[in-house]
A = this chain, B = another copy of it.
Amino acid sequence: MRDVCVVGVGLVDFGELWEKPLRRIWTEAALAALEDAGVDTVDLVTIGCMSSGLFTGQEHLASLCVDELGIAGVPAARVESACASGGLAVRTGFAEIASGLSEVVLVTGVEKMTDVDGAEATFALGTAADQEWEGFHGITFPGLYAMLARAHMARYGTTREQLAKVAVKNHANGLLNPHAQYHLKVTVETVLGSTLVADPLRLLDCSPITDGAAALVLASDDWAKAHAKGRPVVKITGSGMATDSISLAQRDDLSELKAVRLAGERAYQMAGRAPKDLHVVEVHDCFTIAEIMATEALGLFEPGGGGPAVERGLTAIGGRVPVNTSGGLKAKGHPVGATGVAQVAEIVSQLRGEAGQRQVQGARFGLAQNMGGSGGSSIVHILEVV
């Protein structure tokens, strides 16, 4: 298997981008990554997008986007694993280069979520859950994650305040990220005083509806080293994927995210690394409880240790293992198909030492964890400076 590196990153500023269509948002991120990598031709394009059909009435994104970029002809593939679509786009590009089928791949993620109203967006997002066993009965994602939170609280004593501190930390990080949707300071009191959405989750426990796109340029190790021009070369050393029962009712244990654990184990094994090696981590904090559960499933903390860890500041910048330095889905925003790509982009920026005010000093090993639905799928990538 050939080694694969990330040689370019590009993001648009996440937000409510009403004035731009999906294809334009996508193209801006793609061009930024291509410019960062210093390339103008690629062998393949991958596009992670959850539901352009329901959000914008447009499928066939592969053809649409490469055409808009002016490179029609180039092979392109859209992939979907709900909110883990971006991670899947990274994996698909990784496999293309690892196999030798491609030398340079543009890996992208995009979602345009604000072209529909709130009810339609809630329905579209709900299609990541089991429609016949969950959606049909009226449950939406805040409700599903509220049940996970209740189970975690009951089993491990995780507190309402610990959840709030995830939001406080991630909004503090988001203040340092120019691409983030929100630049606002949040306190525990603000979170606890925000509107109740699905008990125990409040508005500030939830990631927002976001338009956005992110892009990476992946290349073979040989290509990357030949074109490094003095910049650090960042290699993807581990790629792990897993699924779990899509509906919560079918799971043995609601206090664990099994797909995240399996995907993490597979990525660690491939990379020959352990959780203790990591200097910086991005996890899928679609809700505050998700970050706590993901850090446990990835082995950063013992089961039940995720809440106390955030309370003690272990996951803050400057802490033992900074988590979501980008601001996470919570503050940076969550354009679902773009999220997994943006997570890897953040890790690459950290490992290159280009993360500006939110730089984790000396970061050499990083991990990005992307998740679909209520944990029905997860994709983990481990990256290292070589």
Interface residues of A (CB under 8 A from B): 1-2, 21, 44, 50-54, 56-64, 66-67, 72-82, 88, 91-92, 95-96, 98-101, 123-124, 127-132, 135, 239-247, 250, 258-259, 262-263, 266, 372-373, 376-377
B79, A78: Cβ atoms closer than 8 Å: yes
CB contact under 8 A between A60 and B99, given known A80-B78, A241-B77, A243-B67: no
Q: Please name 11 pairs of A and B residues whose Cβ atoms are closer than 8 Å in the assembled complex, sorted by A.
A: A1-B101, A56-B131, A59-B127, A60-B373, A75-B241, A75-B266, A77-B241, A78-B81, A79-B80, A79-B92, A92-B95
Residue of A21, A64, A66, A98 contacting most chain B CB atoms (<10 Å)? A64
* Cα A373 to Cα B66 with chains together (Å): 15
Which of B1, B21, B51 is close to A132, meaning CB atoms less than 8 Å apart?
A: B21
Please, which residues of chain B bring their CB within 8 A of the CB of A76? 81, 241, 243, 377
A372, B53: Cβ atoms closer than 8 Å: no
A2 to chain B, nearest CB (A): 8
Which of B50, B74, B262 is close to A59, meaning CB atoms less than 8 Å apart?
A: B50
A130, B81: Cβ atoms closer than 8 Å: no
Which of B73, B101, B239, B250 is close to A243, meaning CB atoms less than 8 Å apart?
A: B73
B59, A246: Cβ atoms closer than 8 Å: no
A386 to chain B, nearest CB (A): 19
Please, which residues of chain B bring their CB within 8 A of the CB of A243? 62-63, 66-67, 72-76
* Cα A67 to Cα B92 with chains together (Å): 22
B239, A101: Cβ atoms closer than 8 Å: yes
* Cα A45 to Cα B251 with chains together (Å): 20
- Report the copy number of this chain in the oligomer: 2
B128, A72: Cβ atoms closer than 8 Å: no
A59-B82, A60-B81, A67-B243 given; 11 more Cβ-contact pairs under 8 Å: A57-B131, A60-B373, A63-B82, A63-B259, A67-B244, A67-B247, A73-B244, A73-B259, A75-B263, A76-B241, A99-B99
Please, which residues of chain B bring their CB within 8 A of the CB of A245? 63, 67, 72
B77, A91: Cβ atoms closer than 8 Å: yes
Please, which residues of chain B bring their CB within 8 A of the CB of A135? 57
CB contact under 8 A between A376 and B79, given known A59-B127, A128-B60, A244-B72: no
B373, A44: Cβ atoms closer than 8 Å: no
A66 to chain B, nearest CB (A): 5
Please, which residues of chain B bring their CB within 8 A of the CB of A75? 240-243, 263, 266
Please, which residues of chain B bring their CB within 8 A of the CB of A130? 58, 64
* Cα A66 to Cα B81 with chains together (Å): 12
- A55, closest chain B residue (CB): B53
* Cα A23 to Cα B125 with chains together (Å): 19
- A81, closest chain B residue (CB): B62
Give 5 nearest A-B pairs by CB, closest first: A63-B376, A75-B241, A99-B99, A98-B99, A60-B82
Please, which residues of chain B bring their CB within 8 A of the CB of A239? 101
* Cα A266 to Cα B243 with chains together (Å): 33
